[in-house]
Copies of this chain bind each other. A is one copy, B any other.
Amino acid sequence: MTIKDIAKECNCGIGTVSRVLNNHPSVSEETREKVLSIVNKYGFVLNKNAKELKMHDNKTIVIFVKGTSNVLLNSMLEVIQKKIETLPYNASVINLDEDGNEALYANNVCYELKPMGMIFLGGSPDRYKEDFLKIKIPCVFISNQAESLENKNLSSVSTDNLLASEFSADYLINKGHKKIGVIGGNLETSEISKIRYQGFLNSMNKAHLQFDFDKAYITSKYSYSGGAKAAKKLIEQYPDLTAIFTMSDTMAIGACRQLKDMNYDIPEKISIIGFDGLSLANFFCPRLTTIKQQEVILAEEGLQILLDSILQNTEAVHKIIPFRLITGESVKDIRAI
């Protein structure tokens, strides 16, 4: 069933049918109704390939999600997809491993899909700088700062990770913790981990506290099991710590579980602070004290920036979305009274 068949049954030209289906003004009300009625009768829909071939654009927005099973990124994805559905665009989602090179992938996608724009959920702009700079279409990084790329077409919306992690460490320190271990991502491959670590260090330095990296920093995957394994190792290396700074709620949860299994009560014996502010953090036992990233706002703003730069060719924007600390039950105040 093509536009031709519809035209035949309507006794009109294919041009007319096309005009009706594209809401062009110059069609008489009478013809329009006739065409519409028979279109509805068959549930006819224009062939997307033919249309896009002709129109010479494909209205696709590609979304890269880095780190499968990352709850935070997934909830942002959801928001974005839902929004795109209401727009004349198609979303195409590509899931990547935590340590894949999304920039390389993205360059290929540019050739193959020729998308209008791309969204990177949890990418590493700096790490793959060279490859990202090759990209010529509008892109936005969500959750990672990309200002350093200085590319006119690469925007970003992010939580201030540096400040947030500093704030988080400040909180622990203010509650009297001095011996703090860190469960974080791979500092070689994960940019965001590097930034959060820097924020943590800033806080420690401010308080004139030492940090022995080899002893107190454990590299972990952003996952429950990663956090659990890391916690075990950390406790072995640094048995007298009083608090653990983790770089995600998933790590924090894994760590909690592991420590409970080792009979360390939380927060009585050891305090743990998370990062992300997943809804789960508020249902976990104990409720996690954590940094809340505003994922809905991040997602919405990110998409909006991308749309603006697609439609109005605006320059790159780098936006910071505020975070806040959610006080749960996983951190104990150990200051002497």
Contact = CB atoms under 8 A, between A and B. Distances in A.
A69 B58 contact: no
Contact of A50 (B53, B69, B78): B53
A280 B224 contact: yes
Q: How many copies of this protein are present in the complex?
A: 2
Interface in A204-224: 224
Interface stretch (A25-33, A152-160, A252-260): A252-260
A77 to B, nearest CB: 8
A108 B44 CA distance: 10
A92 B84 CA distance: 14
Chain A interface residue number, banded: 35 or more
26 contacts: A45-B108, A45-B111, A45-B112, A47-B53, A48-B58, A49-B52, A49-B58, A50-B53, A53-B53, A68-B78, A69-B74, A69-B78, A74-B74, A78-B95, A224-B279, A224-B280, A228-B283, A253-B283, A256-B285, A257-B282, A257-B284, A257-B285, A260-B285, A284-B284, A284-B285, A285-B285
Top-7 shortest CB links A-B:
A49-B53, A45-B111, A257-B283, A224-B283, A49-B52, A49-B49, A285-B285
